Structure 1
Protein backbone atom coordinates (compact mmCIF):
# COMPACT_ATOMS: atom_id res chain seq x y z
CA UNK A 1 0.00 0.00 0.00
CA UNK A 2 1.36 3.41 -1.03
CA UNK A 3 1.39 5.59 2.11
CA UNK A 4 2.50 8.74 0.31
CA UNK A 5 0.21 11.75 0.71
CA UNK A 6 -1.47 12.34 -2.66
CA UNK A 7 -3.37 15.21 -4.26
CA UNK A 8 -5.09 15.20 -7.65
CA UNK A 9 -6.30 18.14 -9.75
CA UNK A 10 -7.22 18.90 -13.35
CA UNK A 11 -5.34 21.01 -15.90
CA UNK A 12 -7.28 24.15 -16.79
CA UNK A 13 -5.05 25.84 -19.40
CA UNK A 14 -4.15 24.39 -22.79
CA UNK A 15 -0.38 24.20 -23.28
CA UNK A 16 0.50 25.25 -19.73
CA UNK A 17 3.70 23.68 -18.48
CA UNK A 18 3.28 21.14 -15.70
CA UNK A 19 5.50 23.11 -13.29
CA UNK A 20 3.30 26.20 -13.75
CA UNK A 21 0.12 24.23 -13.03
CA UNK A 22 1.75 22.75 -9.94
CA UNK A 23 2.64 26.25 -8.71
CA UNK A 24 -0.86 27.54 -9.43
CA UNK A 25 -2.25 24.67 -7.33
CA UNK A 26 -0.31 25.98 -4.33
CA UNK A 27 2.58 23.52 -4.17
CA UNK A 28 5.70 25.36 -3.03
CA UNK A 29 9.09 25.24 -4.77
CA UNK A 30 10.51 23.58 -1.66
CA UNK A 31 7.86 20.85 -1.82
CA UNK A 32 8.46 20.38 -5.54
CA UNK A 33 12.18 19.87 -4.89
CA UNK A 34 11.35 17.25 -2.25
CA UNK A 35 8.96 15.51 -4.66
CA UNK A 36 11.69 15.31 -7.32
CA UNK A 37 14.57 14.19 -5.10
CA UNK A 38 13.13 12.53 -1.97
CA UNK A 39 10.85 9.83 -3.33
CA UNK A 40 7.81 11.69 -4.62
CA UNK A 41 6.16 11.33 -7.99
CA UNK A 42 4.36 13.52 -10.56
CA UNK A 43 1.85 11.81 -12.84
CA UNK A 44 -0.27 13.08 -15.73
CA UNK A 45 -3.13 10.77 -16.62
CA UNK A 46 -1.35 8.01 -14.69
CA UNK A 47 2.01 8.40 -16.45
CA UNK A 48 5.07 9.96 -14.82
CA UNK A 49 6.11 13.21 -16.47
CA UNK A 50 8.75 15.90 -15.93
CA UNK A 51 7.82 19.46 -15.01
CA UNK A 52 8.32 20.76 -18.58
CA UNK A 53 5.51 18.60 -19.91
CA UNK A 54 2.85 20.69 -21.79
CA UNK A 55 -0.65 20.03 -20.51
CA UNK A 56 -4.01 19.69 -22.22
CA UNK A 57 -7.20 20.98 -20.63
CA UNK A 58 -8.73 18.18 -18.55
CA UNK A 59 -5.48 16.29 -17.94
CA UNK A 60 -5.48 14.66 -14.50
CA UNK A 61 -2.42 15.64 -12.49
CA UNK A 62 -1.50 13.47 -9.51
CA UNK A 63 1.17 14.53 -7.01
CA UNK A 64 2.57 11.92 -4.65
CA UNK A 65 4.60 13.58 -1.90
CA UNK A 66 7.55 11.79 -0.25
CA UNK A 67 6.87 10.11 3.08
CA UNK A 68 7.57 12.44 5.99
CA UNK A 69 9.81 11.61 8.90
CA UNK A 70 8.89 12.47 12.50
CA UNK A 71 10.71 15.63 13.57
CA UNK A 72 14.00 15.09 15.40
CA UNK A 73 13.51 15.27 19.14
CA UNK A 74 9.72 14.74 18.99
CA UNK A 75 9.04 11.56 20.96
CA UNK A 76 5.75 9.84 20.01
CA UNK A 77 3.69 9.17 23.14
CA UNK A 78 0.29 7.61 23.74
CA UNK A 79 -2.17 9.92 25.47
CA UNK A 80 -5.79 11.03 25.34
CA UNK A 81 -6.81 13.34 22.50
CA UNK A 82 -10.23 15.01 22.31
CA UNK A 83 -10.69 14.84 18.52
CA UNK A 84 -13.33 17.24 17.20
CA UNK A 85 -12.72 16.57 13.49
CA UNK A 86 -10.37 14.51 11.36
CA UNK A 87 -9.85 13.76 7.68
CA UNK A 88 -6.81 12.92 5.55
CA UNK A 89 -5.54 16.50 5.75
CA UNK A 90 -6.64 18.10 9.05
CA UNK A 91 -6.96 17.22 12.72
CA UNK A 92 -8.95 19.55 15.00
CA UNK A 93 -8.62 18.97 18.75
CA UNK A 94 -10.13 20.36 21.92
CA UNK A 95 -7.00 20.98 24.02
CA UNK A 96 -7.31 20.84 27.81
CA UNK A 97 -5.65 23.40 30.03
CA UNK A 98 -2.21 22.55 31.48
CA UNK A 99 -1.05 20.78 28.31
CA UNK A 100 1.65 22.35 26.14
CA UNK A 101 1.10 22.50 22.39
CA UNK A 102 4.72 21.53 21.68
CA UNK A 103 7.52 20.26 23.96
CA UNK A 104 9.66 22.83 25.74
CA UNK A 105 12.60 22.81 28.11
CA UNK A 106 10.25 23.17 31.09
CA UNK A 107 7.74 20.61 29.73
CA UNK A 108 9.69 18.23 27.47
CA UNK A 109 6.94 15.63 26.99
CA UNK A 110 3.19 14.93 27.25
CA UNK A 111 2.45 17.80 24.86
CA UNK A 112 -0.18 17.85 22.13
CA UNK A 113 2.58 17.26 19.58
CA UNK A 114 3.89 14.21 21.48
CA UNK A 115 0.42 12.67 21.69
CA UNK A 116 -0.44 13.44 18.06
CA UNK A 117 2.86 11.87 16.94
CA UNK A 118 1.92 8.78 18.96
CA UNK A 119 -1.56 8.79 17.42
CA UNK A 120 -0.11 9.05 13.90
CA UNK A 121 2.21 6.15 14.70
CA UNK A 122 -0.70 4.08 16.03
CA UNK A 123 -2.85 4.86 12.98
CA UNK A 124 0.06 4.24 10.55
CA UNK A 125 -0.12 7.83 9.28
CA UNK A 126 3.16 8.67 7.53
CA UNK A 127 3.51 12.26 8.72
CA UNK A 128 5.04 14.47 11.34
CA UNK A 129 3.06 17.02 13.38
CA UNK A 130 2.35 20.44 11.86
CA UNK A 131 0.70 22.88 14.29
CA UNK A 132 -1.56 25.39 12.50
CA UNK A 133 -3.11 27.25 15.45
CA UNK A 134 -1.11 27.14 18.67
CA UNK A 135 -2.43 27.70 22.20
CA UNK A 136 -0.56 28.63 25.38
CA UNK A 137 -0.09 25.78 27.84
CA UNK A 138 -2.80 27.04 30.23
CA UNK A 139 -5.25 28.08 27.50
CA UNK A 140 -7.86 25.51 26.54
CA UNK A 141 -9.98 25.02 23.43
CA UNK A 142 -9.86 24.41 19.70
CA UNK A 143 -6.51 23.72 18.06
CA UNK A 144 -5.85 22.83 14.41
CA UNK A 145 -3.13 20.53 13.08
CA UNK A 146 -2.14 19.84 9.47
CA UNK A 147 -1.41 16.20 8.66
CA UNK A 148 1.09 16.98 5.90
CA UNK A 149 3.62 19.72 5.20
CA UNK A 150 1.82 20.70 1.97
CA UNK A 151 -1.39 21.26 3.95
CA UNK A 152 0.65 23.20 6.52
CA UNK A 153 1.95 25.39 3.69
CA UNK A 154 -1.60 26.05 2.46
CA UNK A 155 -2.91 26.87 5.95
CA UNK A 156 0.09 29.16 6.47
CA UNK A 157 -0.94 31.11 3.38
CA UNK A 158 -4.49 31.26 4.77
CA UNK A 159 -3.24 32.61 8.10
CA UNK A 160 -1.21 35.31 6.40
CA UNK A 161 -4.29 36.24 4.37
CA UNK A 162 -6.39 36.40 7.56
CA UNK A 163 -8.86 33.72 6.46
CA UNK A 164 -8.50 31.44 9.50
CA UNK A 165 -10.79 32.89 12.14
CA UNK A 166 -10.51 32.24 15.88
CA UNK A 167 -12.60 33.56 18.73
CA UNK A 168 -12.03 33.14 22.45
CA UNK A 169 -13.93 33.62 25.68
CA UNK A 170 -12.28 34.91 28.83
CA UNK A 171 -13.07 36.14 32.32
CA UNK A 172 -11.35 39.37 33.29
CA UNK A 173 -11.07 41.71 36.25
CA UNK A 174 -13.38 44.71 36.18
CA UNK A 175 -16.41 45.71 34.13
CA UNK A 176 -15.27 46.03 30.52
CA UNK A 177 -16.78 47.98 27.63
CA UNK A 178 -17.15 46.68 24.06
CA UNK A 179 -14.10 47.90 22.18
CA UNK A 180 -11.46 47.31 19.55
CA UNK A 181 -7.86 47.18 20.81
CA UNK A 182 -5.17 48.03 18.27
CA UNK A 183 -1.81 48.15 20.04
CA UNK A 184 1.59 46.77 18.91
CA UNK A 185 3.08 43.92 20.95
CA UNK A 186 6.74 43.05 21.52
CA UNK A 187 8.92 41.13 23.94
CA UNK A 188 9.61 42.84 27.25
CA UNK A 189 13.27 43.81 27.58
CA UNK A 190 13.61 42.18 30.99
CA UNK A 191 12.00 38.81 30.10
CA UNK A 192 12.26 36.08 27.49
CA UNK A 193 8.62 35.10 28.12
CA UNK A 194 6.63 38.22 28.93
CA UNK A 195 5.26 40.51 26.21
CA UNK A 196 4.04 44.09 26.41
CA UNK A 197 2.48 46.83 24.33
CA UNK A 198 5.36 48.87 22.90
CA UNK A 199 5.84 51.27 20.01
CA UNK A 200 8.39 49.04 18.25
CA UNK A 201 6.22 45.93 18.57
CA UNK A 202 4.28 44.06 15.90
CA UNK A 203 0.83 45.23 14.85
CA UNK A 204 -1.89 43.50 16.90
CA UNK A 205 -5.69 43.85 16.75
CA UNK A 206 -8.27 42.36 19.15
CA UNK A 207 -12.02 43.01 19.31
CA UNK A 208 -13.75 42.71 22.70
CA UNK A 209 -17.47 41.96 23.16
CA UNK A 210 -18.99 41.81 26.64
CA UNK A 211 -21.16 38.76 27.30
CA UNK A 212 -21.86 39.32 30.99
CA UNK A 213 -20.82 41.65 33.79
CA UNK A 214 -21.02 40.33 37.35
CA UNK A 215 -19.56 40.73 40.83
CA UNK A 216 -18.15 38.33 43.42
CA UNK A 217 -17.71 39.65 46.96
CA UNK A 218 -18.41 43.14 45.62
CA UNK A 219 -15.55 42.92 43.13
CA UNK A 220 -16.38 43.42 39.43
CA UNK A 221 -15.64 40.85 36.70
CA UNK A 222 -16.60 40.44 33.05
CA UNK A 223 -17.17 37.44 30.82
CA UNK A 224 -16.04 38.50 27.35
CA UNK A 225 -15.66 37.18 23.80
CA UNK A 226 -12.58 38.14 21.81
CA UNK A 227 -11.93 38.06 18.09
CA UNK A 228 -8.34 37.97 16.90
CA UNK A 229 -7.26 39.66 13.68
CA UNK A 230 -3.59 38.89 14.34
CA UNK A 231 -1.89 36.09 16.24
CA UNK A 232 0.84 37.61 18.38
CA UNK A 233 2.26 35.70 21.34
CA UNK A 234 0.08 36.26 24.43
CA UNK A 235 -1.99 38.76 22.41
CA UNK A 236 -5.25 38.55 24.38
CA UNK A 237 -3.47 38.45 27.73
CA UNK A 238 -1.29 41.47 26.89
CA UNK A 239 -4.08 43.54 25.36
CA UNK A 240 -6.47 42.98 28.28
CA UNK A 241 -3.77 43.79 30.84
CA UNK A 242 -2.86 46.89 28.81
CA UNK A 243 -6.39 48.32 29.18
CA UNK A 244 -6.45 47.50 32.89
CA UNK A 245 -8.53 44.31 32.77
CA UNK A 246 -6.16 41.32 33.09
CA UNK A 247 -7.51 37.81 32.80
CA UNK A 248 -8.29 36.22 36.13
CA UNK A 249 -5.78 33.52 36.93
CA UNK A 250 -3.12 35.16 34.73
CA UNK A 251 -0.45 35.93 37.32
CA UNK A 252 2.12 36.83 34.65
CA UNK A 253 0.02 39.83 33.59
CA UNK A 254 -1.54 40.85 36.89
CA UNK A 255 -4.50 38.51 37.31
CA UNK A 256 -5.57 36.89 40.60
CA UNK A 257 -5.76 33.13 41.09
CA UNK A 258 -8.44 33.34 43.76
CA UNK A 259 -10.93 31.44 41.59
CA UNK A 260 -8.93 29.51 38.99
CA UNK A 261 -5.43 28.03 38.69
CA UNK A 262 -4.76 29.29 35.17
CA UNK A 263 -5.61 32.20 32.90
CA UNK A 264 -9.37 31.96 32.22
CA UNK A 265 -9.09 31.73 28.44
CA UNK A 266 -10.70 29.25 26.04
CA UNK A 267 -10.75 29.09 22.23
CA UNK A 268 -14.46 28.64 21.53
CA UNK A 269 -14.61 29.11 17.75
CA UNK A 270 -12.47 28.14 14.77
CA UNK A 271 -13.53 28.75 11.16
CA UNK A 272 -11.62 28.11 7.94
CA UNK A 273 -12.05 26.93 4.40
CA UNK A 274 -10.83 23.38 3.85
CA UNK A 275 -7.33 23.76 2.34
CA UNK A 276 -8.05 21.28 -0.47
CA UNK A 277 -11.81 21.33 -1.17
CA UNK A 278 -12.49 24.93 -0.15
CA UNK A 279 -15.52 23.79 1.85
CA UNK A 280 -16.27 26.14 4.77
CA UNK A 281 -15.66 24.50 8.16
CA UNK A 282 -16.85 25.92 11.48
CA UNK A 283 -16.04 24.38 14.87
CA UNK A 284 -17.27 25.45 18.30
CA UNK A 285 -16.27 24.36 21.79
CA UNK A 286 -18.17 25.01 25.04
CA UNK A 287 -16.46 26.57 28.03
CA UNK A 288 -14.73 24.07 30.35
CA UNK A 289 -16.05 23.49 33.86
CA UNK A 290 -13.46 25.63 35.68
CA UNK A 291 -14.62 28.73 33.76
CA UNK A 292 -18.34 27.90 33.83
CA UNK A 293 -18.28 27.59 37.61
CA UNK A 294 -17.09 31.20 37.96
CA UNK A 295 -19.63 32.71 35.56
CA UNK A 296 -22.65 30.72 36.64
Structure 2
Protein backbone atom coordinates (compact mmCIF):
# COMPACT_ATOMS: atom_id res chain seq x y z
CA UNK A 1 0.00 0.00 0.00
CA UNK A 2 1.25 3.47 -0.79
CA UNK A 3 -0.07 6.92 -0.08
CA UNK A 4 0.54 10.27 -1.69
CA UNK A 5 1.59 12.73 0.97
CA UNK A 6 0.37 16.28 0.89
CA UNK A 7 3.31 18.49 0.00
CA UNK A 8 4.03 21.60 2.04
CA UNK A 9 3.98 25.01 0.44
CA UNK A 10 7.74 25.17 0.87
CA UNK A 11 8.46 21.71 -0.60
CA UNK A 12 6.69 20.84 -3.85
CA UNK A 13 8.50 17.54 -4.38
CA UNK A 14 6.40 14.48 -5.12
CA UNK A 15 6.30 12.21 -2.06
CA UNK A 16 4.96 8.71 -1.41
CA UNK A 17 4.57 6.81 1.86
CA UNK A 18 4.74 3.03 2.31
CA UNK A 19 4.50 0.63 5.25
CA UNK A 20 7.04 -2.19 5.53
CA UNK A 21 5.44 -5.64 5.64
CA UNK A 22 8.45 -8.01 5.72
CA UNK A 23 10.80 -8.32 8.66
CA UNK A 24 14.46 -7.80 7.76
CA UNK A 25 13.77 -6.94 4.12
CA UNK A 26 16.32 -4.57 2.63
CA UNK A 27 14.92 -1.17 1.71
CA UNK A 28 16.16 -1.69 -1.86
CA UNK A 29 14.11 -4.88 -2.21
CA UNK A 30 11.01 -3.25 -0.73
CA UNK A 31 11.31 -0.31 -3.12
CA UNK A 32 11.50 -2.74 -6.03
CA UNK A 33 8.30 -4.43 -4.84
CA UNK A 34 6.68 -1.00 -4.57
CA UNK A 35 7.63 -0.46 -8.23
CA UNK A 36 10.12 2.34 -7.69
CA UNK A 37 12.36 2.11 -10.77
CA UNK A 38 16.17 1.98 -10.70
CA UNK A 39 16.17 5.20 -12.71
CA UNK A 40 14.07 6.88 -10.03
CA UNK A 41 16.38 5.64 -7.27
CA UNK A 42 19.38 7.08 -9.12
CA UNK A 43 17.59 10.42 -9.42
CA UNK A 44 16.64 10.33 -5.74
CA UNK A 45 20.26 9.71 -4.76
CA UNK A 46 21.94 12.30 -6.98
CA UNK A 47 19.30 14.92 -7.87
CA UNK A 48 17.78 16.01 -4.59
CA UNK A 49 15.46 13.24 -3.46
CA UNK A 50 15.27 11.53 -0.08
CA UNK A 51 14.56 8.13 1.49
CA UNK A 52 13.50 8.07 5.14
CA UNK A 53 12.44 5.30 7.50
CA UNK A 54 10.45 6.48 10.52
CA UNK A 55 11.63 10.01 9.79
CA UNK A 56 15.36 9.16 9.60
CA UNK A 57 17.27 9.25 6.31
CA UNK A 58 18.42 5.77 5.28
CA UNK A 59 20.17 4.18 2.29
CA UNK A 60 18.86 1.26 0.25
CA UNK A 61 20.82 -1.30 2.29
CA UNK A 62 18.86 -0.55 5.45
CA UNK A 63 17.02 -3.59 6.92
CA UNK A 64 13.36 -2.84 7.53
CA UNK A 65 11.15 -4.00 10.36
CA UNK A 66 7.45 -4.74 9.95
CA UNK A 67 5.45 -1.55 10.39
CA UNK A 68 8.27 0.84 9.49
CA UNK A 69 7.07 3.98 7.75
CA UNK A 70 9.03 4.53 4.55
CA UNK A 71 8.79 7.91 2.83
CA UNK A 72 10.10 8.32 -0.71
CA UNK A 73 10.65 11.92 -1.77
CA UNK A 74 11.38 12.30 -5.46
CA UNK A 75 13.60 15.15 -6.71
CA UNK A 76 11.97 18.13 -8.42
CA UNK A 77 11.64 17.72 -12.17
CA UNK A 78 12.84 20.02 -14.91
CA UNK A 79 10.99 20.42 -18.17
CA UNK A 80 12.84 19.71 -21.41
CA UNK A 81 14.82 22.67 -22.71
CA UNK A 82 12.82 22.80 -25.93
CA UNK A 83 9.47 22.79 -24.11
CA UNK A 84 8.34 26.35 -23.41
CA UNK A 85 5.71 27.04 -20.77
CA UNK A 86 2.61 28.57 -22.30
CA UNK A 87 -0.77 29.51 -20.93
CA UNK A 88 -4.07 28.78 -22.62
CA UNK A 89 -7.27 26.77 -22.42
CA UNK A 90 -7.19 23.12 -21.37
CA UNK A 91 -10.43 21.14 -21.43
CA UNK A 92 -9.90 19.21 -18.19
CA UNK A 93 -12.08 16.11 -17.82
CA UNK A 94 -10.46 14.78 -14.63
CA UNK A 95 -7.61 15.79 -12.36
CA UNK A 96 -6.07 14.61 -9.11
CA UNK A 97 -2.58 14.75 -7.58
CA UNK A 98 -1.18 12.21 -10.03
CA UNK A 99 -2.95 12.35 -13.41
CA UNK A 100 -4.67 14.81 -15.72
CA UNK A 101 -7.25 13.74 -18.33
CA UNK A 102 -7.98 16.23 -21.10
CA UNK A 103 -10.31 16.53 -24.07
CA UNK A 104 -7.98 17.54 -26.91
CA UNK A 105 -9.41 19.56 -29.81
CA UNK A 106 -8.49 18.80 -33.40
CA UNK A 107 -5.65 20.79 -34.99
CA UNK A 108 -3.61 20.90 -31.77
CA UNK A 109 -0.38 18.94 -31.31
CA UNK A 110 0.15 16.79 -28.24
CA UNK A 111 3.85 17.72 -28.14
CA UNK A 112 5.65 20.51 -30.00
CA UNK A 113 7.28 19.81 -33.36
CA UNK A 114 9.40 21.70 -35.84
CA UNK A 115 6.30 22.56 -37.85
CA UNK A 116 4.20 23.43 -34.79
CA UNK A 117 6.57 24.53 -31.98
CA UNK A 118 3.97 26.36 -29.87
CA UNK A 119 0.53 25.89 -28.32
CA UNK A 120 0.88 22.14 -27.92
CA UNK A 121 -0.88 20.31 -25.11
CA UNK A 122 2.52 19.73 -23.48
CA UNK A 123 3.35 23.46 -23.60
CA UNK A 124 0.05 24.40 -22.02
CA UNK A 125 0.27 21.67 -19.38
CA UNK A 126 3.73 22.89 -18.35
CA UNK A 127 2.30 26.39 -17.95
CA UNK A 128 -0.63 24.98 -15.98
CA UNK A 129 1.70 23.05 -13.67
CA UNK A 130 3.73 26.21 -13.11
CA UNK A 131 0.57 28.04 -12.05
CA UNK A 132 -0.16 25.21 -9.61
CA UNK A 133 3.34 25.35 -8.17
CA UNK A 134 4.13 21.79 -9.27
CA UNK A 135 7.80 20.91 -9.72
CA UNK A 136 6.98 18.72 -12.68
CA UNK A 137 6.75 18.48 -16.46
CA UNK A 138 4.21 16.99 -18.87
CA UNK A 139 4.43 13.19 -19.13
CA UNK A 140 2.14 12.05 -21.96
CA UNK A 141 0.54 8.67 -21.23
CA UNK A 142 -1.81 8.40 -24.23
CA UNK A 143 -0.78 10.56 -27.16
CA UNK A 144 -3.04 11.70 -30.02
CA UNK A 145 -2.09 12.84 -33.51
CA UNK A 146 -2.42 16.57 -34.13
CA UNK A 147 -5.69 16.27 -36.06
CA UNK A 148 -7.21 13.57 -33.84
CA UNK A 149 -9.55 14.84 -31.14
CA UNK A 150 -10.70 13.38 -27.83
CA UNK A 151 -9.37 12.03 -24.58
CA UNK A 152 -5.72 11.93 -23.62
CA UNK A 153 -4.05 11.28 -20.28
CA UNK A 154 -1.02 12.95 -18.73
CA UNK A 155 1.02 11.93 -15.67
CA UNK A 156 2.04 14.64 -13.23
CA UNK A 157 5.26 12.91 -12.29
CA UNK A 158 7.87 10.61 -13.81
CA UNK A 159 7.08 7.85 -11.30
CA UNK A 160 3.38 7.93 -12.23
CA UNK A 161 4.43 7.82 -15.89
CA UNK A 162 6.52 4.74 -15.06
CA UNK A 163 3.55 3.04 -13.39
CA UNK A 164 1.16 3.82 -16.24
CA UNK A 165 3.77 2.60 -18.72
CA UNK A 166 3.77 -0.75 -16.92
CA UNK A 167 -0.04 -0.73 -17.02
CA UNK A 168 -0.06 -0.05 -20.76
CA UNK A 169 2.32 -2.93 -21.43
CA UNK A 170 0.03 -5.18 -19.39
CA UNK A 171 -3.03 -4.07 -21.36
CA UNK A 172 -4.54 -2.30 -18.34
CA UNK A 173 -5.20 0.99 -20.15
CA UNK A 174 -7.90 0.75 -22.80
CA UNK A 175 -8.86 3.34 -25.41
CA UNK A 176 -11.79 3.32 -27.78
CA UNK A 177 -12.09 5.56 -30.81
CA UNK A 178 -14.77 6.39 -33.30
CA UNK A 179 -14.02 7.23 -36.90
CA UNK A 180 -15.82 7.89 -40.17
CA UNK A 181 -14.26 6.07 -43.09
CA UNK A 182 -14.73 6.01 -46.85
CA UNK A 183 -16.85 3.23 -48.29
CA UNK A 184 -19.09 0.70 -46.61
CA UNK A 185 -17.25 -1.68 -44.29
CA UNK A 186 -19.28 -4.83 -44.82
CA UNK A 187 -17.85 -6.96 -42.02
CA UNK A 188 -19.67 -5.95 -38.81
CA UNK A 189 -16.82 -6.96 -36.48
CA UNK A 190 -13.21 -7.67 -37.39
CA UNK A 191 -9.70 -7.63 -35.95
CA UNK A 192 -6.84 -6.20 -37.97
CA UNK A 193 -3.48 -7.68 -36.97
CA UNK A 194 -0.90 -6.28 -39.36
CA UNK A 195 2.63 -5.05 -38.47
CA UNK A 196 3.33 -1.34 -38.97
CA UNK A 197 6.63 0.33 -39.82
CA UNK A 198 7.93 3.59 -41.22
CA UNK A 199 7.58 4.01 -44.96
CA UNK A 200 11.05 4.13 -46.50
CA UNK A 201 10.28 7.16 -48.65
CA UNK A 202 8.84 9.28 -45.81
CA UNK A 203 9.81 10.42 -42.32
CA UNK A 204 6.14 10.80 -41.36
CA UNK A 205 4.14 8.14 -43.16
CA UNK A 206 3.74 4.59 -41.85
CA UNK A 207 2.62 1.45 -43.68
CA UNK A 208 1.85 -2.20 -43.11
CA UNK A 209 5.08 -4.09 -43.71
CA UNK A 210 6.47 -7.49 -42.76
CA UNK A 211 9.37 -6.05 -40.76
CA UNK A 212 7.12 -3.64 -38.84
CA UNK A 213 6.02 -3.77 -35.21
CA UNK A 214 3.07 -5.91 -34.19
CA UNK A 215 -0.16 -3.91 -34.30
CA UNK A 216 -3.71 -4.98 -33.41
CA UNK A 217 -6.93 -2.99 -33.96
CA UNK A 218 -10.52 -4.18 -33.40
CA UNK A 219 -13.14 -2.64 -35.70
CA UNK A 220 -16.91 -2.60 -35.10
CA UNK A 221 -19.37 -1.08 -37.56
CA UNK A 222 -21.79 1.39 -35.94
CA UNK A 223 -23.55 2.74 -39.04
CA UNK A 224 -23.30 2.54 -42.81
CA UNK A 225 -24.57 5.62 -44.60
CA UNK A 226 -24.25 7.98 -47.53
CA UNK A 227 -23.11 11.60 -47.35
CA UNK A 228 -23.93 13.51 -50.52
CA UNK A 229 -24.20 10.18 -52.35
CA UNK A 230 -20.77 9.02 -51.11
CA UNK A 231 -20.73 5.78 -49.08
CA UNK A 232 -19.23 6.12 -45.60
CA UNK A 233 -19.13 4.04 -42.44
CA UNK A 234 -19.14 5.12 -38.80
CA UNK A 235 -16.90 2.68 -36.94
CA UNK A 236 -15.76 2.04 -33.39
CA UNK A 237 -12.14 1.04 -32.90
CA UNK A 238 -10.26 -0.44 -30.00
CA UNK A 239 -6.47 -0.34 -29.83
CA UNK A 240 -4.56 -3.27 -28.38
CA UNK A 241 -1.24 -1.66 -29.33
CA UNK A 242 -0.24 1.96 -29.73
CA UNK A 243 1.73 2.28 -32.95
CA UNK A 244 2.10 5.66 -34.64
CA UNK A 245 -0.88 6.32 -36.97
CA UNK A 246 -2.14 2.79 -36.19
CA UNK A 247 -5.85 3.32 -36.86
CA UNK A 248 -5.20 5.43 -39.94
CA UNK A 249 -2.78 2.87 -41.41
CA UNK A 250 -4.94 -0.15 -40.61
CA UNK A 251 -8.13 1.32 -42.03
CA UNK A 252 -6.33 2.41 -45.19
CA UNK A 253 -4.81 -1.08 -45.42
CA UNK A 254 -8.26 -2.71 -45.60
CA UNK A 255 -9.39 -0.22 -48.24
CA UNK A 256 -11.33 2.19 -46.00
CA UNK A 257 -9.19 5.26 -45.27
CA UNK A 258 -10.50 7.78 -42.78
CA UNK A 259 -12.54 10.60 -44.24
CA UNK A 260 -10.30 13.69 -44.27
CA UNK A 261 -7.06 11.70 -43.97
CA UNK A 262 -5.32 12.77 -47.16
CA UNK A 263 -2.01 11.26 -45.98
CA UNK A 264 -3.48 7.77 -46.20
CA UNK A 265 -5.89 8.08 -49.11
CA UNK A 266 -8.83 9.96 -47.61
CA UNK A 267 -10.53 13.05 -49.03
CA UNK A 268 -10.80 16.46 -47.33
CA UNK A 269 -13.82 17.47 -49.37
CA UNK A 270 -16.19 17.22 -46.39
CA UNK A 271 -13.91 17.66 -43.34
CA UNK A 272 -10.48 19.28 -42.98
CA UNK A 273 -8.85 16.62 -40.80
CA UNK A 274 -9.03 12.87 -40.28
CA UNK A 275 -12.42 12.02 -38.79
CA UNK A 276 -11.07 10.32 -35.69
CA UNK A 277 -11.98 10.90 -32.03
CA UNK A 278 -10.96 9.12 -28.81
CA UNK A 279 -14.34 8.58 -27.14
CA UNK A 280 -13.38 6.41 -24.17
CA UNK A 281 -10.41 5.94 -21.85
CA UNK A 282 -10.44 3.24 -19.18
CA UNK A 283 -7.64 2.67 -16.67
CA UNK A 284 -6.77 1.61 -13.17
CA UNK A 285 -5.57 4.47 -11.00
CA UNK A 286 -1.77 4.09 -10.63
CA UNK A 287 -1.80 4.58 -6.84
CA UNK A 288 -5.28 3.74 -5.53
CA UNK A 289 -6.07 0.92 -8.02
CA UNK A 290 -9.53 2.48 -8.44
CA UNK A 291 -11.24 1.80 -11.76
CA UNK A 292 -11.49 4.98 -13.84
CA UNK A 293 -13.50 5.46 -17.01
CA UNK A 294 -13.88 8.66 -19.03
CA UNK A 295 -15.97 9.42 -22.10
CA UNK A 296 -16.07 12.19 -24.70
CA UNK A 297 -18.67 13.01 -27.35
CA UNK A 298 -17.71 13.44 -31.00
CA UNK A 299 -16.57 16.85 -32.20
CA UNK A 300 -19.08 18.93 -34.14
CA UNK A 301 -17.34 18.37 -37.48
CA UNK A 302 -17.79 14.60 -37.18
CA UNK A 303 -21.34 14.98 -35.87
CA UNK A 304 -22.15 17.13 -38.92
CA UNK A 305 -21.20 14.25 -41.23
CA UNK A 306 -23.46 11.89 -39.32
CA UNK A 307 -26.35 14.39 -39.14
CA UNK A 308 -26.18 14.94 -42.88
CA UNK A 309 -26.18 11.24 -43.63
CA UNK A 310 -28.78 9.15 -45.38
CA UNK A 311 -29.39 5.42 -45.16
TM-score by length of 1: 0.98
1:127 pairs, out of 133, 136, 150, with 136
Provide the C-alpha distance between the structure 2 equivalents of 1:205 and 1:94, rounded to a whole number of angstroms: 24
2:41 pairs, out of 32, 38, 45, with 32
Question: Does the Cα contact within 8 Å between 2:227 and 2:305 map onto a contact in 1?
Answer: no
Q: Return the offset for 1:54.
A: 1.0
The reply to whether residue 286 of structure 1 matches residue 300 of structure 2 is: no
The reply to whether residue 4 of structure 1 matches residue 21 of structure 2 is: no
Q: Deviation digits for residues 87-118 of structure 1, max 9, x if unmatched?
A: 11101100000000001000011100110011
Alignment correspondent of 1:259: 270
Question: Does the Cα contact within 8 Å between 2:52 and 2:58 map onto a contact in 1?
Answer: yes
1:78-97 mapped onto 2 (5 Å cutoff): 78-97=87-106
* Structure 1 unaligned residues grouped into runs of 5+: none
Alignment correspondent of 1:234: 245
* Structure 2 unaligned residues grouped into runs of 5+: 1-9
Alignment correspondent of 1:181: 192
Q: Return the offset for 1:57.
A: 1.6
Provide the C-alpha distance between the structure 2 equivalents of 1:99 and 1:219, rounded to a whole number of angstroms: 28
Provide the C-alpha distance between the structure 2 equivalents of 1:3 and 1:100, rounded to a whole number of angstroms: 28
Other structure's SS at 2:29 match: helix
The reply to whether residue 245 of structure 1 matches residue 281 of structure 2 is: no
Other structure's SS at 1:54 match: coil
Other structure's SS at 2:278 match: strand
Other structure's SS at 2:164 match: helix
Q: Deviation digits for residues 107-161 of structure 1, max 9, x if unmatched?
A: 0111001100111111111101111110000000001111001111111111111
CA RMSD, Structure 1 to Structure 2 (Å) = 0.8
Alignment correspondent of 2:172: 163
Question: Where does structure 1 differ by over 3 angstroms across 4 or more consecutive aligned residues?
Answer: none
Q: Return the offset for 1:217.
A: 2.8
2:231 pairs, out of 220, 223, 228, with 220
Provide the C-alpha distance between the structure 1 equivalents of 2:163 and 2:100, rounded to a whole number of angstroms: 15
Provide the C-alpha distance between the structure 1 equivalents of 2:259 and 2:152, rounded to a whole number of angstroms: 22
